[in-house]
Amino acid sequence: MARYGLIALIALAAVAARPAPAQESRDEFPGSAVPAPPRGVLRGPADTLVLLDNGRPNVLLTGYWPPTNEMLRPWSPNSAQNPTGWIGGDWEARGYNVYAFFPEFPGGTTANPKGNGDFEVDYQDTSADWWPLLERLRPIALITFSRANTTNGWELEGGNRTYTAAGWSPDYLAPTRPTAEMPLYYEPHLLERWSTLPMDAVVAAITAEVPTLAAFISPIDDSKFLSNCIGYHGNWWHDLHAAADDPIRNYAAGHIHVGRYVSTADGRLGTTVTLRVLLSHVDGLRPPLADADADGAVDFTDALVALAALSGPDRPAAPETDPADFARADTNRDGDVDLADLSLWQGAYATP
């Protein structure tokens, strides 16, 4: 019981010092109003995904044509696509769950360029899979991958842009361009959204550790097919959830084009190195453990925020609690703010 002595004193003080609920205010990014996502009769990745309940934030990877689907296979939670077993749970003990999704191409990409399954090379299918999955996964960081016409490139796109529906190149199944049920259809013509990946650090790490890959940065992807489309979606999700007070904040997103002749082994090593750089980058951006008020320091006010957010499972007990305060106060990420979280705060507060 002694471990909770300081917590008990704080609880008594909090009766009189309970902070007023924060007022959330955010300037909407241009074009960020998202219509209800389209849902088809086929089951998408959001319908079948079983999330690992270990309190770790999620990271999303997506692929399209080979080699990008093959190189991401170890991170797929789908046992049919990855019978050797998902490696993404608390990946490398770094504190993040990594999930990958991609289509399959039975018969090869010449006979079957659209592919089958998750994120087919198709505007409608990509949109229908994207929005429900992102709402479930709520990734703290994400990378979309696709194949490039380079030989062994690892090309980090500086940004992506959108077009009118008629401006996109046609895909393989009618309707062959974006349609009105897709959120993308309503994005302003030529709007550009920018990568927030640690691009220079990724290029340096790939160059040093995977010399068979040619890593470089392009200013912007100005292509008009599905690679640019899904890259735009990744940056779009980041823009929607980049605010510091967003309870599902995304810290980094971007697109990487992979050369068509990159081997599966090199692609997996490149993904591994890129993930390590990305997660270290995100570690540096996240508030310190137990910093419930996100002011960059662990102090007495964090305990007051946590006490105000004390809760039942997945919800604050007090309905006026700001959702962002609740998310930050849930230090152990188990969906509840309780004495275990306050104990973690006490440990962090006592550590210089």
pLDDT tens-digit readout, 275-301: 999 999 999 998 766 677 777 777 878
Is this structure's pTM higher than 0.95? no
Q: Over pLDDT 70: what percentage of the chain?
A: 80
Q: How many CB atoms lie within 10 A of CB 21?
A: 14
Residues 213 and 237 in one domain: yes
Residues 329 and 219 in one domain: no
Residues 281 and 328 in one domain: no
Question: Given this model, what pLDDT does residue 304 score?
Answer: 80
304 and 314 Cβ atoms separated by less than 8 Å: no
Boundary of a domain, candidates 285, 301, 330: 285
3-state secondary structure of 142: strand
Question: Given this model, what pLDDT does residue 323 score?
Answer: 67
Assign residue 215 a region (left: φ > 0; alpha: ψ between -120 and 50; beta: otherwise): beta
Residues 116 and 242 in one domain: yes
Q: Give the domain extent around 117.
A: 45-285
Residue 336 has pLDDT above 50, yes or no: yes
Residues 262 and 114 in one domain: yes
pLDDT tens-digit readout, 205-244: 999 999 999 999 999 999 999 999 999 999 999 999 999 9
Residues ≥6 apart with Cβ < 8 Å to 248: 138, 241, 327
pLDDT tens-digit readout, 95-149: 899 999 999 999 999 999 999 999 999 999 999 999 999 999 999 999 999 999 9
Report how many domains make up the chain: 2
Confidence bin at 41 (pLDDT 50/70/90):
very low
Residues 315 and 343 in one domain: yes
4 and 340 Cβ atoms separated by less than 8 Å: no
Distance CA 62, CA 44 (A): 14
Check residues 18 and 303 and name the one with the higher pLDDT: 303
Question: Given this model, what pLDDT does residue 313 score?
Answer: 57
330 and 287 Cβ atoms separated by less than 8 Å: no
Determine which of 9-18, 19-28, 119-128 has the lowest per-residue pLDDT on average: 19-28
Q: Over pLDDT 90: what percentage of the chain?
A: 66
What's the CA angle centered on 215, arms 213 and 217, to 5 degrees? Answer: 160
Distance CA 332, CA 313 (A): 13
List strands edge to edge, sheet with 214-218. 97-101, 58-62, 141-148, 252-259, 153-157, 214-218
The answer to whether position 35 is within a domain reads: no
